[in-house]
Amino acid sequence: MKNQLRGSIKINAKGRDLYGFINAVHASRISCFSQYVKGGSFCAEIYRSDLGRVTDIADEHGIELTHFEYGTLSAEVIRRRRRFGIALGLVLVIAASLYFSGVVVTIDIQGNESVSDEVILAALDGMGVHRGTPFRRIDYVTCENQLQLGVEGLSWAGMHRTGHRLVVEVTEVVEKPEMRRTRIPCNLVAAHEAEIVGTTVVDGQLMHKVGDYVRAGDMLISGVTGDDTGHTTLHRAMGTVTGIYSEEAAFTGELIQERLVPTGRTDTRRRLRLFSLDIPLYLGRNGYELRDEESTEKPLVVFGKTLPISVTRQRYTEYAREETELTPEELTDELMEKVYIYEKNFLSDCEILERDITQTEKDGTLTLTVAYRLKGDICSPREILIK
C-alpha cells in the first residue's frame, strides 16, 4: 500500500566503483529494498522521491544508472496529471455528493394502504416538501401535524430523515366494520320461472318438491317455522334448489362501423425529470388530433440506487376515424365473441343444457338472439319484514 502511494522504482547500476555507490546509498540513509548484485550489475528498488539523490550519487561515482517505474497508484495519477477532465469529474462527484447529502432525494412513504402515495406527496408538496428540498428547511413537527389534518384517512404521521431519504410513516384511520347481513332472517324465493330438479335444505322449511313448476318470486324455502304450541321461530333460510329454466340474451351490432385505425405516423418525445422539475427535450406541440399515448420512465441508477433523475419517453401513435363495412359473417364472429364473454361472466355458475341462436338482420344491424336452457340454483334471499 505504501509503495502504491509513494511510487516504487527499480534501479539498475553498472560501473567500476559499484560498492562505493552501494555504500554511499546506504550512508545517505535512502530506503533501498531488494538489493543484490548480479553479473556486475546492482539491482534494487527505491521510492520515487529518492531517485534524484540516487542519480546524484551515481554521477559522483561514475555509475551508469537506469531505472524503471512500477505501475503504482501514484504513478498512474502523475501520468494523468494533465488530464483535467478527471480532476473536473472528481470535483463534480464531490460537489454532487455534498449536494445530494443535503437534499431530499427520495420520499419513502410507509404504512399507507387506502390513502395513495400521490395524495400524501401532493400534501407534502403543498407544504414545500418535495424531491430537491434541503433537509434543513423542513419543519418536521409542522409537516406531521399538517399531514394529519390535511389528508383525510390519516390518524397519525411521522417523518424522519435516513441519509438522503425522507421517510414518512403514516397510520390510517381504521373504519368501523360493516355489519354482516348473513344472520338476518330471510326466505328463499325463486329467481326464475323453473322446473325443480333437486333440493338441499340446510335451514328452513322446503315449500316445493322435485318436479314442481315454480314461477319467479314463489317461495322455495321458508324461514318461518311454527310448532304445535303456536310458537313461531324465524330462521335464515339456507339451502339450494336446482331448477331448469330458460333465459334469453340479445347481442346487436352495426354492419357499417366507425373505427379508429392507426395511420402509421408516430412521434417520440423525451422529457428530463430532475427532482420535481420536468424539462421537455423537444420543441413544439404534438399536432395529432386522435392519438394513443404510451409513456415510459427510465430513472438513473447508480450502484443499485435510483436517483431522482429520469428520462420520460412519450410515444404518440396517430389514429384516424374510418368507416368500415363488415360482412354479416365478420359481424357474426364479433358478436359470437361477445356471447362467449357473456357466458363466461354471467353463466359460469350454471350448466347450459341448450343454446339456440337466431340471427336477424334489419336496417343495417345484425342481432343475435341466444335462447338458453339452463340448469342451476334458482334461490334468491328475501328478508322477512317483521315488526
Partner 1 sequence: MFEKLTDRAGEVLSPVSGIHIESNRELIVENCRRIEECDEVFMQFISGHLRVQVWGSGLRAYDHKTGGLVIRGRISRVELAERRRQSDEKPASREH
Contacting positions for partner 1 (CB under 8 A): 19, 22-23, 25-27, 29-38, 42
Alpha helices in 106-160 (DSSP H): 117-126, 140-150
Instruction: Say how many CA atoms lie within 13 Å of 184 toward its Cβ.
Output: 11
What is residue 70's three-state secondary structure? coil
Q: State the cell numbers at 385.
A: 319484514
Which of residues 29 and 136 has its CB atom nearest to partner 1 in the complex? 29
Question: At its nearest, how many Å lie between partner 1 and the CB of residue 43?
Answer: 9
CB of 39 vs partner 1, minimal distance in Å: 10
Residues linked to residue 369 through DSSP beta bridges, in sequence order: 250, 358
Nearest to partner 1 of 25, 214 (CB atom): 25
Which residue, 38 or 209, has its beta carbon nearer to partner 1? 38
What strands, in cross-sheet order, belong to the sheet with 290-302? 277-280, 256-274, 305-325, 290-302
**Distance separating alpha carbons of residues 152 and 175, to the nearest angstrom:** 12
Nearer to partner 1, 22 or 123 (CB): 22
Question: Minimum distance between the CB of residue 302 and partner 1, rounded to whole angstroms?
Answer: 44
Nearer to partner 1 among residue 57 and residue 189 (C-beta): 57
Distances (CA, A) of 129 to 98, 136, 156: 19, 11, 18
Q: How far is the CB of 72 from partner 1 (least distance, A)?
A: 18
Least separation in angstroms between CB 2 and partner 1? 12
241 forms beta bridges with 199
Least distance in angstroms from the C-beta of 62 to partner 1: 18
SS3 218: coil
Task: Identify which of residues 8 and 199 has a Cβ nearer to partner 1 in the complex.
Answer: 8
Question: Cβ contacts of residue 229 below 8 Å, gap of 6+?
Answer: none
